[in-house]
């Protein structure tokens, strides 16, 4: 879990992913010599802060894992504007940096005379407008659970890096902007289609614990959310999952989106499926995931990347 702890400490709200990108590049360049296959690494001009790893000469399937997080932008007089959909819990600690130094502020819900509520960062001085703030890292672990801010989607990134160690053929895409409207998977998918005719995707992300998607029941394979994956591709995944012996559960939702939804909205012929461990306390400083579900997620991804 040491890698996960490091990933969580790095700030990277949507639109401000440069630091997490650099961490990933450093990690990949350091570790790839120990991987079964050394990937081609694509980044820089034309990729914004995203990274694409290509393993082998004819990859058929890509893992998409977004590297951004939810958070807040400081507006005027320390008022806060949401980036994505963070939960606003009174007293939450937020961290960031501006030109005057490091910031550790407290989120406060302030009721106005008209009955509306706005959110504000309580700090000893006025924070420079436009500064991004994110939840203060607070990693907790026991024999059964991991709990921390930003398991969504640092766990998805962590999962992709575990698969990378033994991946012979395939691609891994570290995408940006997912939490605040998407925007990068279109050109990233275009790169894979134009250069490799790759058109199959697995979305390495974290889903929600609900009344029907539970802890310790295995990784969740999403049959649909706001987007609807193509059924023939989904059936192939379900058949492989059943034969693998890896513990999984099925998710069917009417709302929610991911990089998969964004892929579906492009003009590219991508098939996609969201597969991820369920978490509780979504988009809060106390996101919680079962370790057995996380292991099942990594195990299933390894099998799928071999057989798809």
* Of 306, 289, 294, residue with least CA distance to 202: 306
Of the candidates 120, 135, 150, which is a domain's last residue?
135
Mark whether 157 and 278 lie in a shared domain.
Answer: yes
115, pLDDT greater than 90 = no
Name, in order, each residue with C-beta under 8 angstroms of 180's C-beta and a sequence gap of 6 or more: 14, 15, 68, 70, 83, 84
- DSSP alpha helices (H): ranges in the chain? 2-9, 18-31, 151-164, 185-196, 231-244, 259-264, 291-307
Of the candidates 135, 169, 188, which is a domain's last residue?
135
Q: What mean pLDDT do residues 283-293 have?
A: 98
Phi, psi at 278, each rounded to 5°: -80, 150
Reported as a pLDDT band with limits 50, 70 and 90, residue 181 is confident
Q: How far, rounded to the nearest angstrom, does the alpha carbon of residue 168 sit from its chain's CA centroid?
A: 23
Question: Mean pLDDT for the chain?
Answer: 97
Q: How many CB atoms lie within 10 A of CB 252?
A: 10
For residue 174, the enclosing domain spans: 2-69+140-307
Are residues 13 and 134 in contact, defined by beta-carbon separation less than 8 angstroms? yes
Mark whether 145 and 127 lie in a shared domain.
Answer: no
pLDDT digits (tens, 9 = 90+) for 126-153: 999 999 999 999 999 999 999 999 999 9
SS3 state of residue 145: strand
Q: 132-135 and 93-98 as β-strands: parallel, antiparallel, unpaired?
A: antiparallel
Domain count, the chain: 2
Give the pLDDT score at 247. Answer: 98
Q: What mean pLDDT do residues 26-51 have?
A: 97
Give the pLDDT score at 182. Answer: 75
Q: What mean pLDDT do residues 210-217 have?
A: 97
Mark whether 207 and 269 lie in a shared domain.
Answer: yes
Mark whether 196 and 288 lie in a shared domain.
Answer: yes
Global pTM?
Answer: 0.97
Mark whether 197 and 253 lie in a shared domain.
Answer: yes
Q: What CATH number has the domain bearing residue 242?
A: 3.40.630.10
Mark whether 206 and 179 lie in a shared domain.
Answer: yes
**Position of tokens 């401000």?**
16
CA angle 111, 117, 121 (to 5 degrees): 85
**Position of tokens 């890698």?**
3
Q: What CATH number has the domain bearing residue 114?
A: 2.40.30.40
* Of 115, 105, 100, residue with least CA distance to 80: 105
pLDDT digits (tens, 9 = 90+) for 294-304: 999 999 999 99
Q: What mean pLDDT do residues 118-125 have?
A: 97
Handedness of CA 9, 125, 93, 256 (dihedral sign): negative
Q: What is the Cα–Cα distance from 302 to 41, expressed in whole angstroms?
A: 20
């Amino acid at each position: 879990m040491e890698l996960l702890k490091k990933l969580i400490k790095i700030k990277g709200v949507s639109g401000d992913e440069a630091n997490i990108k650099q961490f990933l590049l450093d990690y990949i360049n350091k570790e790839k010599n120990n991987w079964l296959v050394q990937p081609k690494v694509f980044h820089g001009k034309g990729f914004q802060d995203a990274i694409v790893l290509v393993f082998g000469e004819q990859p058929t399937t890509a893992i998409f894992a977004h590297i951004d997080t939810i958070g807040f932008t400081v507006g005027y007089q320390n008022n806060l504007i949401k980036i994505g959909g963070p939960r606003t819990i009174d007293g939450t600690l937020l961290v960031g940096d501006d030109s005057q130094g490091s910031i550790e502020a407290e989120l406060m819900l302030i009721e106005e005379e008209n009955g509306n509520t706005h959110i504000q960062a309580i700090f000893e001085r006025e924070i420079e407008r436009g500064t991004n703030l994110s939840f203060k890292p607070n990693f907790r672990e026991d024999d059964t659970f991991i709990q921390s801010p930003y398991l969504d989607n640092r766990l998805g990134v962590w999962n992709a890096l575990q698969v990378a160690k033994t991946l012979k053929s395939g691609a891994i895409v570290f995408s940006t902007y997912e939490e605040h409207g998407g925007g990068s998977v279109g050109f990233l998918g275009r790169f894979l289609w134009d250069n490799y005719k790759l058109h199959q995707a697995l979305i390495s992300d974290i889903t929600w614990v609900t009344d029907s998607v539970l802890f310790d029941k295995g990784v969740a394979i999403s049959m649909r959310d706001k987007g609807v994956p193509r059924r023939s591709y989904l059936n192939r995944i379900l058949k492989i999952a059943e034969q693998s012996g890896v513990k999984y559960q099925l998710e069917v939702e009417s709302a929610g989106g991911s990089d998969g939804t964004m892929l579906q909205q492009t003009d590219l012929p991508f098939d996609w499926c969201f597969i991820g461990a369920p978490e509780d306390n979504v988009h809060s400083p106390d996101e919680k995931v079962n370790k057995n579900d996380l292991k099942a997620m990594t195990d299933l991804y390894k099998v799928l990347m071999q057989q798809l």
